[in-house]
Amino acid sequence: MVASHSIPEPQRDGPSENIARRVQRTLEQFDSLPDEALIGIRPVSILIDRSFASIWRDVAKGRLAHPIRIGARSTRWRVRDVRAAMRGGT
């Protein structure tokens, strides 16, 4: 009989850690991003202090510009539009 030893899998960061790192990096670089740069809903939510649902309501009511669809399940906002929303305009 051969003894079976299990080798532990290396610990990997899960999706939430990767997302958190990307969001943090975006927030740290936001002031230096060009106006045409694209950012996702998570940093937008933090920057304008709104929930995801409120962001979509703001889009529907014209308080935030419509995002750009870059895939079937991926939308991004122009930094220029987020900065305008932060100032209170569109």
With contact defined as beta carbons under 8 Å apart, do 58 and 50 qualify? yes
Range of the domain at 40: 35-90
Tell me the per-residue pLDDT of 43-76, one tens digit each, with 9 for 90 and over.
Answer: 999 999 999 999 999 999 999 999 999 999 899 9
pTM, full prediction: 0.77
**High-pLDDT (> 70) share of the chain, %:** 81
Q: Measured between alpha carbons, how far is 48 from 82 in angstroms, rounded to an integer?
A: 8
Instruction: Judge whether 27 and 46 are in contact, CB under 8 Å.
Output: yes
Number of domains in the chain: 1
Say which residue the tokens 């936001």 belong to. Answer: 30
Is 83 a domain residue? Answer: yes
Decide: 87 and 38 in contact? Cβ < 8 Å. no
